[in-house]
Amino acid sequence: MATKCTAPKILSIEPAITEKVANLYWSGASGGTGNSILNYEIQRSDSTNGANWGNWIAHDIVSRPNFASGNIQVNPPARGTVRRFRVRVRGTAGSTYYSDWKISSNTLRRPTPPSAPTAITASPGRYVIPSVTLTWSGAKPGTNPIDQYKIQRLISPNGVNFMEDNERLVSASATSYIDTGVPNDPHIYTKYRVYALDALELQSSGYAQSNTVRKVAPPGVPEIFAPSGKPNAVTYNTNPRILIYAPRDGNPDMFSQTVFVKVNSAGWQNSVTHAASFSRGGVFASAIETIYRPGEIPIGTASVSVKVNNGIVDSEQPTRNFTVASPPIDNFESGTPVKSDHIRVLREMMDKVCSYYGRGSYSWNQEIIPGKTQIRDWPLHVREIRSAIMSLVSNIFAVGGGVSAIDPNIEWLPLGHGRPRADVMNQLVDVIMTL
């Protein structure tokens, strides 16, 4: 009479943790009386926690006639799932005489990947030199130790839609990385992702993502309208006007700009802290023209430097040299006769001041010739000088925006006839001295 087969005494999986195939092997099985071993039936069951198992389902049938042992390669389940197996012997006497089931002594699973860092910071958030330092922390090993970190650089033209731009691997001992390949373009946004990897090159299922960083372009180079930089740029005003143009900042997010001015060896003054010294003070979000008054400076050669700062970086720093000159003419005393040389000197003063403001010499109508200039023409020459002054005043007033610039409504003294009076001449000198 036939008897049942005997289940394997050993059923095990090697290796129990793998990304690849494992070996399910058994031994110690035997057939029964009149019931030799025909094959082995294998089933599997999965669990997400190792305690609650799903139904057994058919896995394979391995033909091993009369063999007490055997093996088969099996694949690990999806990550996060544990798999066990069971085997029974099927003999020649039929299903009534199959052996009992033998459940594997261990289970099969894929290794747990390391966890991603919990924090990553990219700094500086606005960089001037194309170099960003990443620091991260909080990564933890999974089944295997962390072997290295994968760093992805992502870029975007709008700060919303990012695409991978570069990928690097660094050692497990690293907690920071310096990226010198960041875009040198203020219109490109950059951020980073960091993954932890183990020796099997398993990466963490998640990643740490950094803040967004961007290039900062320096502000545009300011222009100095006055002094013009011409060799004969002369002013007779000991509190001269520095006419400045600050272009719009080159960054797409429109940094607020501050204008800085330095005259001679004095310290820098800026349009915020020293707003009263500027015709337009404060910070500027767009291109601006402004006039700076440094206060009294001594007669002689002088220099002025200008720069713009957008809160992070300075612009280039143009410098201009000029001369603060003593007036080449004294005040007229009452009764002092006005001569043709006086008119000529006033014209020369105006030409020098026009040069200071970057304008060409005034186109005077008549040449002044001692002994030949007609007395009747004196009022015309005075009006012409006044006209040259008013043309320049209008230009200065427009740049200054009408704020602390210059009074465009000069009340000229009446001229009368013939040679001008001393007060008329003194007024011309005084006004030129204020330009």
Stretch (H or E) spanning 155: strand 146-156
Q: What is the mean pLDDT of the chain?
A: 89
pLDDT tier for residue 233 given thresholds of 50, 70 and 90: confident
Q: Which of 72-86, 173-187, 251-265, 311-325 shows the lowest mean pLDDT across its residues?
A: 251-265
Locate 286 and state its tokens: 């767009």
φ and ψ at residue 236, rounded to 5 degrees = -105, 5
Strand pairing category for 242-246 and 213-215: unpaired
pLDDT (mean) for 176-194: 95
Strand pairing category for 213-215 and 126-127: parallel
For residues 281-301, one letter each, b for 16 or more C-beta atoms within 10 angstroms of the residue's C-beta and e for the rest, the string is: bebbeeebbbbbbbeebeeee
Unique residue bearing structure tokens 């005489």: 97
The Cα 291–Cα 220 span in angstroms is 18
pLDDT tier for residue 370 given thresholds of 50, 70 and 90: low
Q: Are 110 and 17 in contact (CB under 8 A)?
A: yes
pLDDT (mean) for 349-357: 89
Residue 186 in this model has a pLDDT that exceeds 60: yes
User: Which 3 state secondary structure label does DSSP give 223?
Assistant: strand
Q: Are 7 and 13 in contact (CB under 8 A)?
A: no
The Cα 392–Cα 158 span in angstroms is 46
Q: How far apart are the first and last CA of the chain?
A: 131
User: Which 3 state secondary structure label does DSSP give 151?
Assistant: strand
The DSSP-derived string for 119-149 is EEEEE-SEESSS-EEEEEE--B--SS-EEEE
The Cα 344–Cα 366 span in angstroms is 11
pLDDT tier for residue 408 given thresholds of 50, 70 and 90: low
Residue 12's Cβ-side half-sphere holds a number of Cα atoms within 13 Å equal to: 6
pLDDT (mean) for 216-244: 89
Cβ neighbours of residue 231 closer than 8 Å, sequence gap 6 or more: none
Q: Is the dihedral of CA 163, 166, 171, 176 positive or negative?
A: negative
CA dist list (Å): 27 to 87, 303, 403: 11, 98, 101
Q: Strand order of the sheet with strand 176-179? A: 119-123, 132-137, 176-179
For 118-138, the pLDDT digits (tens) are 999 999 999 999 999 999 999
Unique residue bearing structure tokens 């997010």: 253
pLDDT (mean) for 322-327: 90
Residue 231 in this model has a pLDDT that exceeds 80: no
- What pLDDT is stored for residue 420 in this prediction? 81
Residue 382 identity: V
For residues 140, 201, 211, 255, the Cα torsion angle rounded to the nearest 10 degrees is 150
- What pLDDT is stored for residue 154 in this prediction? 96
- What pLDDT is stored for residue 396 in this prediction? 80
Cβ neighbours of residue 247 closer than 8 Å, sequence gap 6 or more: 219, 220, 221, 222, 223, 287
Locate 146 and state its tokens: 């962390």
Q: Which domains does the chain have, with CATH numbers?
A: 10-103 (2.60.40.10), 119-215 (2.60.40.10), 223-324 (2.60.40), 340-434 (no CATH)
> Taking the model in full, what pTM does it have?
0.71
The DSSP-derived string for 26-75 is EE--B-BTTB-EEEEEEEEEEESSSSS----EEEEEEE-TT-S-EEEEE-
pLDDT tier for residue 375 given thresholds of 50, 70 and 90: low
- What pLDDT is stored for residue 371 in this prediction? 59
User: Which 3 state secondary structure label does DSSP give 390?
Assistant: helix
For 387-399, the pLDDT digits (tens) are 888 888 888 877 7
Locate 319 and state its tokens: 């410098």
Beta bridge partners of 319: 305
Q: Are 152 and 170 in contact (CB under 8 A)?
A: no
- What pLDDT is stored for residue 175 in this prediction? 92
For 270-301, the pLDDT digits (tens) are 999 999 899 888 888 888 889 999 999 999 99
For 35-93, the pLDDT digits (tens) are 999 999 999 999 999 899 999 999 999 999 999 999 999 999 998 899 999 999 999 99
Cα 12 from chain centroid? 58
The Cα 411–Cα 421 span in angstroms is 16
Residue 402 in this model has a pLDDT that exceeds 60: no
Question: Helices 378-400 and 340-356 sit at what angle, rounded to 10 degrees?
Answer: 20
